[in-house]
Amino acid sequence: MTEIKVTPLGAGQDVGRSCILVTVGGKNIMLDCGMHMGFNDERRFPDFTYITREGTLTEHLDCVIITHFHLDHCGALPYMSEMVGFDGPIYMTHPTKAICPILLEDYRKITVERRGETNFFTSEMIKSCMKKVIAVNLHQTVHVDLDLEIKAYYAGHVLGAAMFYIKSGQQSLVYTGDYNMTPDRHLGAAWIDKCRPDLLITESTYATTIRDSKRCRERDFLKKVHSCVEKGGKVLIPVFALGRAQELCILLETYWDRMNLKAPIYFSLGLTEKANHYYKLFITWTSQKIKKTFVQRNMFEFKHIKPFDRAFIDNPGAMVVFATPGMLHAGLSLQIFRKWASNENNMLIMPGYCVAGTVGHKVLSGVKRLEFEKQVLEVKLQVRYMSFSAHADAKGIMQLVSQCEPRNVMLVHGEAAKMDFLKQKIQQEFGIDCFKPANGETAVIRTIHNVPLDISVNLLKREASLSGLSVPDPKRLRILNGALVIKANKSQLVDPAQAMRELGLKQHQLRFTSTISLDDDGPISDSADKLYQKIKNKLKDYPIHYSSDGSITIADTVLVKVSGDEETKDIAVSWLHQDEELGSYLLKILESGLEGT
């Protein structure tokens, strides 16, 4: 029995700052390296001292895997690699490698240049960190070393997001990162084959939610936006630069066209162009519809959606603005919110999950008074939460468990109470263990593996000749004596002589001899004849030969010989090491005496 050990440094019974340490098949791997949006102190990054109490990160980690470019999954990467110190390989997909440094640089600017924070990573550190990244393709088996291999699977969620299958020795696990089991306008659904890992580590953000029809949500969203702009109000939609932003932009663009609406729609300056560039570059990662129609029409080139300038914040009249970041914790979205929050004609639509501690989370919880720099802001605008989040809901999580058939499940990236509900559901429906460790807590998953073993034909033939059968009886358990040869991860039991030949070694045979005193009157030939008859009756399945000198040979190896005089006789039983079972059985027969059968 072997063990897989898992310790969350982030996302353990919590959403945000994903960072999971796993020990699988003797290898140590870090899964994601994110930051927490709800903190601006040392709690923002994972506590890497958990690993570096003895030695460096490089000494303790074989590799780091990043599932996608959201900052709660990659935001601590330059801090970890350049400031704490890690020189090993970092794996992610090609789109993640392209987009990750842009979002890291955007966040660095907000933190250092606008807030004036120190002890933060620099632009040079981001570049140095990205030089350590090895990009992987979907379904490509990557050998980290001789024992450790990884493979990426499509996760939906955002452009380039991947789930990772990890195998070391006989042990394996799947880590999902964030994923979506439902296809949408611009991305496909997550998919993984029936890989039957020892452990599935899955996000559980929406562990208790079963979403209503996507069409109903879209209709409701369009109705609310239309109603607000019709009355001259302003709609703020906080989003992250890539992902839900493009999904909702496609939805509003189509609706504005159909309804012939004139109210302007804006998107954070610069991000639209960057987003479009990456969607064109990685078109193979998008949905089937976008791939099919891309040559005739690029869905990401919008007619109604224009870049936003900060000067537009005070413009009169209706407008819709998509602004980053998505949780109102910093940047332009927070700036616009502070300007528009006191007007009840305006509307805030939160399309995704907000981490505890962020302004978005506070507003969604019903807080009506917020303090900014010792000034109190009255929140009077309409607040609406509409789940366009690209996370799997409870149904989707159960679907993934069913799809990959793991032996154990672990829940991360979710709230403890919601995890309890899903844990019970998984255990009841699939009859497997489910774990939900907190940050800093180590879960130990015990695994049992049957090692496949090939048996050479020569060995089977020898076994058949010993038992006197043309084919060994599969219902009869027997001890097979052979040499275990392991080559290229394949184990085979072969005839020792064959193994010796292949290794160029000279074979030595061990022979064991035991003597039994026999009380039997008469000539030695008579005693030998009685002995032969008894053995023949007892060992009917074995080829037995009787020689004129009084010796009995069984299967050319075991030798029984009677010696002595007319009154006292000795029976010598001699056998080779591979026939130990037969030799001991023969001794039992002889110890019972010559009389009877």
Is 203 an active-site residue?
yes
Distance CA 111, CA 118 (A): 9
Q: Which of 82, 203, 253, 463 is catalytic?
A: 203
DSSP state, residue 109: I
User: Distance between CA atoms of 396 and 192, rounded to whole angstroms?
Assistant: 13
Nearest to 329 by CA among 38, 34, 118: 38
For Cα atoms 102, 108, 110, give the angle at the middle one, nearest 5 degrees: 110
Instruction: Please name which of 301, 378, 294, 388 lies closest in space to residue 344, comparing C-alpha atoms.
Output: 378
The gap between the terminal CA atoms of the chain, to the nearest Å, is: 46
Q: Identify the DSSP state of 295.
A: T
Q: Are 554 and 539 in contact (CB under 8 A)?
A: yes
Q: With contact defined as beta carbons under 8 Å apart, do 576 and 509 qualify?
A: yes
Instruction: Report whether 369 contacts 379 (CB < 8 A).
Output: yes
The 10 Å Cβ neighbour count of residue 189 is 17
The residues that bridge with 444 in the sheet, in sequence order, are: 5
**HSE-CB for 65 with a 13 A CA cutoff:** 26
φ, ψ for residue 397, nearest 5 deg: -65, -45
Contact 400, 204 (CB under 8 A): no
CB 403 within 8 A of CB 395: no
Q: 251: helix, coil or strand?
A: helix
- The helix or strand, by DSSP H or E, that contains position 153, with its residue range, turns out to be strand 148-154
The set of catalytic residues is 203
